[in-house]
Chain A
Amino acid sequence: MSKKKDTFLNMVVSLFVITIVAGFSLGFVNDLTVGPKAKAKLEKKVNALKLVLPTFDNNPVDDILLVQSELAKDSIEMYPAFSENKFVGAAVIGSTEKGFSGLIKIMVGFNEGGNIKNIEVLEQKETPGLGTKMKDEKFLAQFREKNPSNFNIKVTKDGGEIDALTGATITSRAFGEAVQMAYDEFVDNKDSLKKSKK
């Protein structure tokens, strides 16, 4: 086969055909993956909920409470947990833009009294090996069973009680801020959370 000549028509036609084929194949793959993508996201959320909440028997994803707040750009997601129709706690998504590389999104589980049950990191772009250590047991353990009303979740450098991660003070600071935000929202919306069971 000889090479196509560089005529205007040839150029237009070949680019046109390539873009059409590319467009259709992308649409096709998108259709294939849109389901599994949503499923993977939901699965991640449900797994995180199981880790941070006290034992529950409702479906927190269905009972979700969305609140607008000046603390975050988007509405804040809250997942209430009920056991035998009694409110036992809630998971609140806390986020901050002040991470070392921007957004940090965490899910904080509280029991009814506002004690932190557990924390799960949902999204982060921190430095691998430094900031990413916020997912480690050693760092997270400092928050468990603490109540931010009487436990200062700032890093020790700022007068708080949390030992910052080595080489990642900014990350630790941002993490504490996200936890604080989740706690504030939890306290503010506790009454509506109690009523949110469908």
Chain B
Amino acid sequence: MAEKMNQTQNFLKGIVKENPVFVMLLGMCPTLGVTSSAFNGLGMGVATLFVLLMSNIVVSLVKSQIPSKVRIPAFIIIIASFVTIVEMVLEAFIPFLYEQLGIFIPLIVVNCLILGRAEAFASKNNLMSSILDALGMGLGFVIALTMLGAVREILGSGSLFELKFVSENANTFILFILPPGAFIALAYLTVLFNKISIKTS
């Protein structure tokens, strides 16, 4: 029973209590860079979720075979391989999304969220816990990026998931699609998120 509770905890902590974006502030580069629309945020989140899941699985499986002095280069090779695979698959089968995410796909390699989870969790825990941890953290990341993207898209373009709800000529807060808008929106969302999560706990 305690074991089961623990596993649920492994999964849930990434979504609220240790949300990678709003609480741990990890992976800021893609968070700020690609979230100019809800769809871009979602796409980036899902790509990261996949890489995180695969790298956590592999790291957890091979952890006892890697001498600790070379663990970081080993993890990086594993992560970089999965990122390259994601890039090739996206380019071949979802070219539309590949074009949208562009330069940010190779940058998943240096997303500290992924290396962070490999180092802090997967290299110390068993396979099942690592999978749940990756799913939880990944989902937390997806939710955060989609929320940020949605806020910026609504304010900046007057649309949500490309569905426009203001007229063609309406003035929108263009600032929010530009880089400074990312920082402003992220800051307010972080405040809001933490206020709510502190209240409920």
Assuming the A-B contacts A37-B92, A129-B156, are A22 and B102 also in contact, with contact meaning beta carbons closer than 8 angstroms in the complex?
Answer: no
Interface residues in A129-182 (C-beta closer than 8 Å to B): 129-130, 138, 167
The interface residues of chain A lying within 8 Å CB-to-CB of B178 are 127, 130
Q: Does A128 sit at the interface, judged by CB under 8 A?
A: yes
What 0/1 readout, one digit per residue, does chain B (96-129) give for beta carbons within 8 Å of chain A? Answer: 0001001000000000000000000000000000
* Chain A-chain B contacts (Cβ-Cβ < 8 Å), number: 86
Question: Which residues of chain A are within 8 angstroms of B89 by Cβ–Cβ distance?
Answer: 29, 33
B168's nearest neighbour on chain A, judged by CB, is A138
Of B68, B78, B102, which one neighbours A125 at CB under 8 angstroms? B102
From B69, B92, B156, A33 is in contact (CB under 8 Å) with: B92
CB–CB A127/B177 < 8 A:
yes
Q: Which residues of A contact B69 (CB under 8 A)?
A: 6, 11
Residue of A nearest to B99 (CB): A123
Taken residue by residue from 148 to 163, chain B's Cβ proximity to chain A (1 for < 8 Å, 0 otherwise) reads as 0000000011000000
B residues contacting the other copy or chain, number (CB 8 A): 33
Q: Is the CB of A22 within 8 A of B77?
A: yes
Q: Contacts A22-B77, A36-B93 given: A4-B174 contact, CB under 8 Å?
A: no
Residues in A with CB closer than 8 Å to B156 are 129
Expressed in whole angstroms, the Cα–Cα distance for A36 and B65 within the complex equals 36
* Contact of B85 with A130 in the complex, beta carbons under 8 Å: no
Q: How many residues of A contact B (CB 8 A)?
A: 35
Within the assembled complex, what's the spacing in Å between the Cα atoms of A2 and B63?
10
| B92 and A40 contacting across the interface, CB-CB below 8 Å | yes
Between A22, A26, A30, A129, the greatest number of chain B beta carbons within 10 A of the residue's beta carbon is seen for A129
Does B146 have its Cβ within 8 Å of any Cβ on chain A? no
In the assembled complex, A198 has its CB within 8 A of some CB on chain B: no
Report which of B37, B70, B177 forms a contact with A14, defined as CB distance below 8 A. B70
Q: Which residue of A lies closest to B62 (CB)?
A: A18
Determine whether B81 belongs to the interface, using a CB cutoff of 8 Å to chain A. yes
Q: Which residues of A contact B191 (CB under 8 A)?
A: none
Pair A29/B85 contact, Cβ less than 8 Å: yes
Contact B66 A4 (CB under 8 A): yes
A11 and B70 contact, CB distance less than 8 A: yes
A4 touches B65 (CB 8 A): yes
Q: Could you tell me the distance between the alpha carbons of A125 and B187 in the complex, rounded to whole angstroms?
A: 26
Contact of B157 among A7, A35, A37, A129 (CB under 8 A): A129
Besides the known contacts A22-B77, A40-B95, A44-B95, 18 further A-B residue pairs in the complex with CB atoms under 8 A apart? A2-B64, A6-B67, A11-B69, A14-B65, A14-B67, A22-B78, A26-B85, A29-B88, A29-B89, A33-B92, A37-B92, A40-B92, A123-B99, A127-B178, A129-B157, A129-B174, A130-B174, A167-B174
